[in-house]
């Protein structure tokens, strides 16, 4: 099975980084709160102004004053002192119970997740039995066996909370052990324990850390609950839980009693969650480093000045279905700038014509298809240009009108048919649904048309196959269904994004033939996005080669393969596996495709080009009339076609 | 020819079992149905086939990731198939692998140094400093340098990640590296860089490769011999040039014909010679007989009844097809095939 690197730009890191720097101050505050908590727990006797147990019934239920900063409780005890001593209980409670939960839950979860088999079966049945009983009952049963008291209550809570660690650890290990790096580690000969602890654990740490912080909060609350029913901290000792239960009894008389322990619990839990997030981001996969800055960065201010020039626009064609002019798509960066992913892209497709959009990952070819449909992710913006479909500029249409256009006038076929079809519904119902929603067909008419369409895309026994679920079909069959669905509304433009890349080569040939056949019958224009120049040679009438977010060459298919004019096109052609018939060294293009944001300032291919001259440092316009090329030396270079 | 082979696979069977409702072993599925292969030291065998052909199952069986359900995998003096998946360390270290997806084959939480030296930590008692020296040496072999040691995989491009994976596979100076689709996830302009690198290191270090791929043209560049798989059977095997230029088995021929070429005019001619075919039903074939018979334009009644054995082919190698039953040089059926 072939896969191709996805074209999606690395938009996430920059957003994440901005979030991280913004929250730095909050992290410092959270750290300070936790440090204070530990300090108070250690030195409660020295810090607290009064003995937390000393009663003064005359001065009970007082409001805050200079003598008692947080007032006094029902027995006249100083609330501040009790709060400070409560820190000690909080630290012990959270520490003990969470540690016990982790020590029991994580190792067992890791083991049964990795080992599987009857170990897994037995342990999971026990865990399910435990979690099916209300937690507090389990705790009471354990306490009935152990006896009451803070430490015993925390052991009970630890056992109770270990089940959530166990299930989480098992779940993430189940997913992780299928990763290729685990296979690599097994091939190297690493033992099971080494793989589990050295390879898998660091990668599954983030969810476990989050679970830890959630557990600390839950333990603090559970301690309050257990103390409230008299199974945890025994009166008169001060814990935040016992203080809260006292406050509950005096809610009507003196509501303020609930405030200090409440705020203490909220602040502690919040701080731990924030610190947990920071630790999680610092471990394993959480590390997200912004795009490399070591390559030359184009001056984007200068780039914005390059207005779509008249020369760059493709000449008007007869029967134009789609015309895109000066399209520019950007992503917001950490420093508030706009990083272009596609710049100054113009193209047009006529009725019954197939235009190939060819390029490697990061070239922006897939993004172009999505931008035409208005389906780019929220982080991206189409800032310039017009997208005229059948005479209307889609960029000026309101959202509801665009949704009507999608599916009616333009449809899309994606790379992986098994994921672009909904696994929960039969394939026939997915096509019929479109027909009923967009064409208003009756249920039976929609079904009849569905079977007809499935028959049309060359699937034997269409009536029977319409009732199949996507996973019951082979990749080639599923892609035929996806094509049938795209055709159901008779679109004037079909955007096909690597529709044969996930298929075997003999099936690919069938699907390409099907596209051609259907185009002859329905007359739609096809925008065919592919990384494979040989596929483009088969299916396309014209080909537009993209590199680093812009078009570098556009030509009729015969002309392009006979005499490529851009050095990148030539390089791509000669690097194709079928281009040369010899032993290595095979021809290569040095370096790799630069990421958005690391594009050279002038010609974006200049750092990999063998024909670079000083003039390539400037921005190069797309020139030509019939065939377009973005190379300043296009006229003087004679590039041979591959072979 | 199996005497001086580094790896010799005979009658290999790999079987997967589905799970029944209660978690017991369910229906059996044979992914590899009796395969014979052989690789000499320092040579490359390309194993080609479409998805579901069983090529990756052979790779996994050689690597000890799945147990063989029959047959032998002789590696030097030992039978890997008999050990199931528990290889002794000295054997383990001699067979390494590079997998397809450079984005998930490197542990994201490890540094390049950790990844490249992990085999050394498992198999040797080298000190940290010695391992680091070796790591720099290994990175040099794949055109990376010391400055990359402290970085994490996500800081590299796909091609660079695959270089790191190769460096790690070279760490123990193995005799055999299994390359499972090593470049199919890479950009076209980067693929050849990796192919060139693999080719140079092979000649320099005398490593044998088992190269698994779906693309015959790509395999042809670097392989000494090529084997073609279809539905768990090896249908053709032979010298690389012969298989690529003069494919014998009808399936190999179909496979080569289906790959689009870079010439629009040639594509037009090829298109004219075929017309849009309906989707094929998933073959549900009886166990006996040729696996390709329901797609084969030359299928004969006997193809239903009997699995064709391997017949020798002009120019070297074998094809599991009755068309080659006639003595070499006389097969009229073969002429028909070539003319077609």
**Domain identity same for A249 and A365:** no
State the pLDDT at residue B148: 92
Task: Assess if residue A601 is contained within a domain.
Answer: no
Indicate the range of A53-62, A314-323, A344-353, A376-385 predicted with least confidence. Answer: A376-385
Compute the average pLDDT of residues A171-195.
Answer: 91
Task: Assess if residue A209 is contained within a domain.
Answer: yes
CATH number where A519 lies: 3.40.50.300
Indicate the range of A50-64, A627-641, B213-227 predicted with least confidence. Answer: A627-641
Q: B116, B168 in Cβ contact below 8 A? A: yes
Pairwise pLDDT comparison (B135 vs A67), residue with the higher score: B135
Task: Assess if residue A563 is contained within a domain.
Answer: no
Compute the average pLDDT of residues A24-28.
Answer: 82
State the pLDDT at residue B332: 46
State the pLDDT at residue B340: 44
Cβ contacts of B101 on chain A, cutoff 8 Å: 3, 180
Give me B312's structure tokens. 């020798």
pLDDT surpasses 70 at B3: no
**Domain identity same for A355 and A410:** yes
> A587 and B192: CB-CB below 8 Å?
yes
Q: What is the pLDDT of residues B229-255, one digit of tens each?
A: 999 999 999 999 999 999 999 999 999
Q: What is the pLDDT of residues B24-58, one digit of tens each?
A: 677 888 899 999 999 999 999 999 998 889 999 99
Which residues, 6+ apart, have CB-to-CB distance to B232 below 8 Å?
Answer: B30, B31, B32, B33, B35, B53, B54, B291
Q: How close is the nearest chain A Cα to the Cα of B72, in Å?
A: 19
**Count of the separate structural domains present in chain A:** 2
Q: Which of B222, B267, B276 sits opposite A537 (nearest CB)?
A: B267
Which residues, 6+ apart, have CB-to-CB distance to A380 below 8 Å?
Answer: A9, A11, A329, A330, A331, A341, A367, A371
CA distance A444 to A454: 15
Domain final position from A501, A523, A557: A557
Q: B220, B240 in Cβ contact below 8 A? A: yes
Compute the average pLDDT of residues A244-258.
Answer: 86
User: Which pLDDT band holds residue B23 (cuts at 50, 70, 90)?
Assistant: low
- In a mutational test of the A interface, the residue from B67, B242, B264, B266 whose CB has the highest number of chain A CBs within 10 Å is B264
State the pLDDT at residue B45: 97
User: Which pLDDT band holds residue A7 (cuts at 50, 70, 90)?
Assistant: very low
**Domain identity same for A328 and A424:** yes
**Domain identity same for A137 and A36:** yes
Give me B137's structure tokens. 């040496």
**Domain identity same for A199 and A347:** no
> A561 and B262: CB-CB below 8 Å?
yes
Give first-to-last CA distance, chain B, whole Å: 33
pLDDT surpasses 70 at B282: no
Cβ contacts of B99 on chain A, cutoff 8 Å: 180, 183-184
Which residues, 6+ apart, have CB-to-CB distance to A369 below 8 Å?
Answer: A357, A412, A495, A497, A527, A529
Which residues, 6+ apart, have CB-to-CB distance to A636 below 8 Å?
Answer: none
Task: Assess if residue A187 is contained within a domain.
Answer: yes
State the pLDDT at residue B279: 65
Compute the average pLDDT of residues A185-193.
Answer: 90
Q: What is the pLDDT of residues A390-401, one digit of tens each?
A: 988 888 888 888
pLDDT above 90: percentage of residues in chain A? 35
Task: Assess if residue A613 is contained within a domain.
Answer: no
Q: Which of B89, B192, B275 sits opposite A586 (nearest CB)?
A: B192
Q: Is B72 on the interface with A (CB under 8 A)?
A: no
State the pLDDT at residue A16: 43
Window 121-160 of B: residues touching A by CB (8 A cutoff) are 122-123, 152, 154-155, 157-160
**Domain identity same for A210 and A118:** yes
CB atoms within 10 A of CB B56: 25
pLDDT surpasses 90 at A438: no
**Domain identity same for A337 and A276:** no
> A505 and B50: CB-CB below 8 Å?
yes
> B214 and A1: CB-CB below 8 Å?
yes
Domain final position from A557, A580, A600: A557
Count of alpha carbons within 13 angstroms of residue A94, beta-carbon side: 25
Domain final position from A285, A301, A323: A285
State the pLDDT at residue B276: 54
State the pLDDT at residue A449: 93
State the pLDDT at residue A354: 96
pLDDT surpasses 80 at B312: yes
pLDDT above 70: percentage of residues in chain A? 90
User: Which pLDDT band holds residue A307 (cuts at 50, 70, 90)?
Assistant: very low
Task: Assess if residue A621 is contained within a domain.
Answer: no
Q: A363, A536 in Cβ contact below 8 A? A: no
State the pLDDT at residue A288: 43
CATH number where A99 lies: 1.10.3720.10
> B264 and A557: CB-CB below 8 Å?
yes
State the pLDDT at residue B286: 62
State the pLDDT at residue A15: 40
Q: What is the pLDDT of residues A98-127, one digit of tens each?
A: 999 999 999 999 999 998 888 899 999 999
State the pLDDT at residue A556: 94
State the pLDDT at residue B98: 95
Distance of CA A253 to the CA centre of its chain: 52
3-state secondary structure of A6: coil
- What DSSP assignment string belongs to B64-87? TSS--SSSEEEETTEETGGGTT--
Nearest to A88 by CA among A151, A132, A5, A18: A151
User: Which pLDDT band holds residue B1 (cuts at 50, 70, 90)?
Assistant: very low
Contacts A–B by Cβ distance under 8 A: 226
pLDDT surpasses 60 at A304: no
Q: How close is the nearest chain A Cα to the Cα of B220, in Å?
A: 8
Dmax (CA) for chain A in angstroms is: 103
3-state secondary structure of B98: strand
User: Which pLDDT band holds residue B81 (cuts at 50, 70, 90)?
Assistant: very high
CA distance A604 to A602: 6
Domain hosting residue A140, numbered range: 30-50+69-285
Angle, CA of A393, A396 and A398, to the nearest 5°: 120
Nearest to A298 by CA among A588, A546, A550: A550
Nearest to A472 by CA among B281, B70, B89: B281
CA distance B235 to B245: 16
> A189 and B93: CB-CB below 8 Å?
yes
**Domain identity same for A501 and A432:** yes
Q: Is B260 on the interface with A (CB under 8 A)?
A: yes
User: Which pLDDT band holds residue A158 (cuts at 50, 70, 90)?
Assistant: very high
State the pLDDT at residue B285: 59
Does an H or E element contain A631, and which? none
> A188 and B119: CB-CB below 8 Å?
yes
Task: Assess if residue A126 is contained within a domain.
Answer: yes
Structure letter (DSSP) for residue A59:
G
**Domain identity same for A340 and A281:** no
Q: Which of B99, B192, B263 sits opposite A537 (nearest CB)?
A: B263
Residue labelled with tokens 């029991």: A104
Compute the average pLDDT of residues B211-221.
Answer: 91
Give me A455's structure tokens. 């028959």
**Domain identity same for A83 and A147:** yes
Indicate the range of A69-73, A334-338, B128-132 predicted with least confidence. Answer: A334-338
Which residues, 6+ apart, have CB-to-CB distance to B213 below 8 Å?
Answer: B46, B47, B48, B181, B182, B183, B184, B219
State the pLDDT at residue B84: 82
Strand partners for B57: none
Cβ contacts of B199 on chain A, cutoff 8 Å: 583-585
Q: What is the mean pLDDT of chain A?
A: 84
Q: A179, A121 in Cβ contact below 8 A? A: no
Give me B67's structure tokens. 């147990």
3-state secondary structure of B24: coil
State the pLDDT at residue A296: 35
CA distance B99 to B212: 10
**Domain identity same for A276 and A330:** no
Q: A538, A514 in Cβ contact below 8 A? A: no
Task: Assess if residue A634 is contained within a domain.
Answer: no
Q: What is the pLDDT of residues A596-635, one digit of tens each?
A: 888 998 999 999 998 999 989 988 888 888 889 999 988 8
Strand partners for B30: B15
> A460 and B279: CB-CB below 8 Å?
yes
pLDDT surpasses 60 at A232: yes
User: Which pLDDT band holds residue A584 (cuts at 50, 70, 90)?
Assistant: confident
Strands in A338-350's sheet, in edge-to-edge order, are A338-350, A320-332, A380-389, A392-393
3-state secondary structure of B294: coil
CA distance B173 to B199: 15
**Domain identity same for A38 and A174:** yes
Give first-to-last CA distance, chain A, whole Å: 28
Q: Is B113 on the interface with A (CB under 8 A)?
A: no
> A189 and B92: CB-CB below 8 Å?
yes
């Amino acid at each position: 099975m072939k896969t191709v690197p996805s074209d999606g730009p690395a938009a996430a890191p920059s957003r994440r980084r901005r979030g991280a720097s913004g929250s730095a101050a909050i992290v410092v505050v959270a750290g300070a709160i936790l440090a204070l908590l530990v300090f108070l727990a250690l030195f409660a006797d020295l810090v607290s102004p009064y003995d937390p147990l000393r009663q003064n019934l005359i001065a009970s239920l007082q409001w805050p004053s200079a003598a008692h900063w947080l007032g006094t409780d029902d027995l006249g005890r100083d609330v501040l002192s009790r709060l400070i001593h409560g820190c000690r209980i909080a630290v012990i409670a959270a520490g003990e119970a969470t540690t016990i939960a982790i020590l029991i839950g994580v190792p067992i979860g890791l083991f049964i997740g990795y080992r599987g088999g009857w170990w897994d079966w037995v342990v999971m049945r026990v865990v399910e039995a435990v979690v099916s009983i209300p937690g507090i009952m389990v705790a009471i049963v354990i306490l009935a066996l152990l006896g009451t008291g803070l430490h015993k209550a925390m052991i009970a809570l630890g056992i109770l909370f270990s089940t959530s660690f166990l299930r989480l650890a098992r779940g993430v290990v189940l997913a992780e052990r299928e990763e290729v790096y685990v296979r690599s580690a097994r091939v190297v000969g690493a033992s099971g324990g080494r793989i589990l602890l050295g390879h898998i654990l660091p990668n599954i740490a983030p969810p476990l850390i989050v679970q830890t912080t959630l557990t600390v909060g839950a333990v603090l609350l559970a301690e309050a609950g257990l103390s409230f029913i008299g199974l945890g901290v025994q009166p008169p000792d001060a814990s935040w839980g016992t203080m809260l239960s006292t406050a509950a009894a005096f809610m009507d008389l003196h509501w303020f009693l609930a405030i200090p322990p409440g705020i203490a619990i909220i602040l502690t839990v919040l701080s731990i969650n924030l610190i947990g997030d920071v630790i999680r981001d610092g471990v394993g996969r959480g590390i997200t480093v912004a795009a490399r800055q070591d390559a030359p960065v184009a001056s984007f201010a200068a780039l914005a000045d390059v207005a779509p020039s008249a020369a760059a626009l493709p000449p008007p064609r007869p029967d134009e279905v789609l015309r895109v002019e000066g399209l520019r798509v950007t992503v917001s960066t950490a420093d508030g700038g706009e990083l272009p992913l596609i710049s100054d892209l113009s193209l047009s497709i006529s009725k019954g014509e197939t235009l190939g959009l060819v390029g490697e990952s990061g070239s922006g070819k897939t993004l172009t298809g999505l931008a035409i449909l208005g389906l780019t992710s929220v982080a991206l913006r189409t800032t310039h240009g017009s997208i005229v479909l059948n005479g209307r500029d889609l960029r000026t249409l309101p959202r509801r009108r665009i949704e009507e256009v999608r599916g009616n006038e333009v449809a899309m076929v994606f790379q992986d048919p098994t994921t672009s079809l909904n696994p929960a519904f039969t394939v026939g119902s997915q096509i019929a649904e479109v027909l009923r929603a967009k064409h208003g067909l009756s249920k039976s008419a929609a079904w009849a048309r569905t079977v007809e369409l499935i028959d049309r895309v060359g699937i034997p026994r269409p009536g029977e196959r319409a009732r199949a679920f996507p996973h019951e079909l082979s990749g080639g069959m599923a892609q035929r269904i996806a094509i049938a669905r795209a055709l159901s509304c008779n679109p004037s433009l079909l955007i096909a994004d690597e529709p044969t890349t996930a298929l075997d080569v003999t099936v690919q040939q069938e699907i390409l033939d099907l596209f051609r056949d259907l185009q002859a019958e329905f007359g739609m224009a096809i925008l065919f996005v592919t990384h494979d120049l040989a596929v483009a040679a088969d299916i396309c009438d014209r080909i537009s080669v993209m590199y680093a977010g812009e078009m570098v060459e556009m030509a009729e298919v015969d002309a392009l393969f006979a005499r490529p004019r851009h050095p990148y096109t030539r390089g791509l052609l000669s690097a194709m596996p079928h281009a040369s018939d010899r032993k290595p060294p095979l021809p290569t293009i040095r370096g790799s495709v630069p990421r958005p944001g690391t594009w050279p300032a002038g010609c974006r291919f200049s750092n990999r080009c063998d024909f670079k001259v000083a003039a390539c440092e400037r921005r190069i316009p797309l020139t030509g009339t019939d065939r377009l090329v973005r190379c300043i030396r296009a006229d003087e270079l004679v590039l041979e076609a591959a072979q | 020819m199996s005497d001086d082979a580094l790896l010799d696979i005979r009658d290999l069977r790999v079987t997967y079992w589905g799970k029944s409702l209660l978690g017991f072993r369910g229906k059996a599925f044979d992914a590899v149905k009796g395969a014979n292969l052989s690789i000499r030291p320092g040579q490359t065998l390309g194993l080609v086939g479409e998805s579901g052909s069983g090529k990756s199952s052979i790779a996994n069986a050689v690597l000890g990731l799945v147990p063989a359900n029959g047959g032998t995998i002789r590696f030097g003096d030992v039978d890997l198939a008999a050990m199931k998946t528990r290889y002794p360390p000295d054997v383990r270290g001699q067979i390494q692998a590079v997998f397809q997806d450079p984005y998930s084959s490197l542990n994201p939480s490890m540094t390049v140094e950790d990844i490249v030296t992990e085999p050394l930590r498992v198999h040797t008692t080298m000190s940290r400093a010695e391992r680091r020296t070796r790591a720099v040496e290994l990175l040099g072999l794949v055109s990376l340098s010391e400055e990359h040691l402290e970085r994490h995989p996500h800081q590299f491009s796909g091609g660079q990640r695959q270089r790191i994976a190769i460096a790690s596979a070279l760490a123990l100076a193995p005799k055999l590296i299994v390359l499972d689709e090593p470049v199919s996830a890479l950009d076209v302009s980067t693929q050849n860089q990796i192919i060139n690198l693999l080719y140079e290191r092979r000649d320099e270090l005398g490593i044998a490769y088992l190269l698994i791929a779906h693309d015959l043209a790509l395999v042809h560049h670097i392989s000494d011999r090529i084997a073609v798989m279809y539905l768990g059977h090896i249908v053709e095997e032979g010298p690389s040039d012969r298989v690529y230029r003069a494919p014998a088995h009808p399936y190999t021929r179909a496979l080569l014909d289906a790959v689009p070429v870079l010439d629009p005019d040639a594509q037009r001619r090829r298109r004219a010679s075929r017309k849009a075919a309906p989707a094929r039903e998933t073959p549900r074939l009886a166990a006996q007989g040729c696996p390709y018979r329901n797609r084969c334009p030359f299928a004969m009644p006997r193809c239903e009844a009997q699995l064709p054995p391997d017949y020798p082919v002009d120019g070297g190698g074998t094809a599991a097809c009755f068309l080659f039953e006639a003595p070499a040089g006389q097969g009229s059926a073969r002429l028909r095939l070539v003319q077609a």
